Structure 1
Amino acid sequence: MSLHPRRTGWRFQWVTILWLTAVWVLLWGDVSWGNVVNGALLGVLVTTGLRMTPVDFHGRVHPAALAVLLGRFALDLVRASFEVSLVALRPRYTPRGAVICVQLRSHSDLYLTLTAELVSLVPGSIIVEAHRLTGRLYVHVLDVETSGGIEKARQNVLDQEARVLRALGSDAELAEAGLSRSRRAREVAAR
């Protein structure tokens, strides 16, 4: 794939146009010919008119790992919402927050962004800064005690990155990050 945004393949452009069309229709909340046509026209306008950096994606979607990622994300949402509500409702309790630096294993912009978004969507943590050249995320944790400590909060971010990589990364990207695809493969590598 060419690094120049105007020279990317039409296959990739059509995927982007279809995705933008779907987002447009979802934003309007009504599936009609007008919304689909306007979404497609807007998708063509955005992909041809705006200079976008190409997304460097060499992996593929792994359905089982994606199910684990989404299931764990839903579980984290429920658990963290409950923990944040307990912190908010405790009388005379002042949460002890912290900003932690987490060095991610992958240096891909795509995986850094996905990890940062998933971490920020969980209540009680938000990304303060993402440094793409070093692959570091600076995360504000609402309450260190509720999170299980600074190292536990850091490990939660690394675990989220590992789930993202297993769901979308190629075998080469996993190996580069020091991860394997499955639990069984990890057990074999540990022996």
Structure 2
Amino acid sequence: MTPAPPTDPPNPPLTRAARWRNRVVAVTVLVAVWVLLWGHFTVANIISGLVVAAILIAVFPLPPVTFAGRLHPVGMLRFWVRFLSDLVVASAQIAWLAFRPGHVPRSAIIAVPLRVNTDLNLTLTAEALSLVPGSLILEADRDTGTLFVHVINVGSLDGVERFRRDVLALEARIIEAIGSADELRRVRANPDPTPPADLEGAAT
């Protein structure tokens, strides 16, 4: 009789410190999204964001999203500077499209497989993309770590490829801000993965 192959040991339960760390990270992310949605960094928005985050965590408990990385101050600063810059530039571009006479912008649905397939990375990358005008998340595939994004004013394969590279650059900035050493290695070892043929975006 052939012995059964060894199985991986179950994941050890989280310690109390790890549970509190994950809660702090979840609350911080929820408050940041809340403030960005309101568009004003005020004390009232921060307090209301804390209340909403506490209610969501207490009333609607979800499977824990483990935060395996750590905060990198330089990477965090780089992420926020670029994110705010993208907000301004994208808002100006969308305003120009709205008032540009005689121009009908084309759009595309683009599939972008991420390099770090975790719930936290999928969520943060999708939120950051959705908050920038001109792009909207249609679906996130947890099995493959793929985001399907609707993008306005993309009318060529070069534009599709350029947006795909922008999403991967955004993912890299998020990982450099809060990623683990293993996640950083994965992103840096594969800076520009080529998407499979059946996941390539097509302009419409």
- TM-score category, normalised to shorter length: 0.7 to 0.9
TM-superposed CA distance for 1:39, in Å, is: 4.6
Greater fraction helix: 1
TM-superposed CA distance for 1:132, in Å, is: 1.1
Amino acid at match of 1:29: A
TM-score, with structure 2 as normaliser? 0.68
TM-superposed CA distance for 1:177, in Å, is: 3.2
For residues 174 and 103 of structure 2, what CA distance do their matches in structure 1 show?
A: 35
Residues 101 and 136 of structure 1 are in contact (CA less than 8 Å); yes or no, is this contact kept in structure 2? Answer: yes
**Could you say which residue in structure 2 is the equivalent of 1:84?**
94
Query: Residue 113 of structure 1 is aligned with which of 123, 127, 134?
Result: 123
Amino acid at match of 2:182: A
State the secondary structure of the residue aligned to 1:29.
helix
TM-superposed CA distance for 1:173, in Å, is: 1.3
Residues 17 and 47 of structure 1 are in contact (CA less than 8 Å); yes or no, is this contact kept in structure 2? Answer: no
**Could you say which residue in structure 1 is the equivalent of 2:171?**
161
For residues 31 and 126 of structure 1, what CA distance do their matches in structure 2 show?
A: 25
Structure 1's 166 and 91: CA in aligned 2 closer, same or farther, altered over 3 A? same
TM-superposed CA distance for 1:14, in Å, is: 7.7
Residues 162 and 179 of structure 1 are in contact (CA less than 8 Å); yes or no, is this contact kept in structure 2? Answer: no
TM-superposed CA distance for 1:170, in Å, is: 1.1
Relative contact order higher in (CA < 8 Å, ≥ 6 apart):
2
State the secondary structure of the residue aligned to 1:106.
coil
TM-superposed CA distance for 1:172, in Å, is: 1.0
Q: How many percent of aligned residue pairs carry the same amino acid?
A: 39
Structure 1's 89 and 178: CA in aligned 2 closer, same or farther, altered over 3 A? same
RMSD over aligned Cα, in angstroms? Answer: 3.7
Residues 57 and 110 of structure 1 are in contact (CA less than 8 Å); yes or no, is this contact kept in structure 2? Answer: yes
TM-superposed CA distance for 1:10, in Å, is: 6.0
TM-superposed CA distance for 1:171, in Å, is: 1.1
Task: Map 1:90-105 to 2 at 5 A.
Answer: 90-105=100-115
Structure 1, gaps ≥5 residues long = 181-191
For residues 134 and 149 of structure 1, what CA distance do their matches in structure 2 show?
A: 23
Post-superposition Cα deviations, 1:144-178, rounded to whole Å, max 9, x if no partner, equal 159x6110011111110010011110111111334
Q: Larger deviation: 8-17 or 111-120?
A: 8-17
Structure 2, gaps ≥5 residues long = 1-10, 35-40, 191-204
2:15 paired with 1:16: no
Residues 22 and 65 of structure 2 are in contact (CA less than 8 Å); yes or no, is this contact kept in structure 1? Answer: no
Q: How many residues align?
A: 169
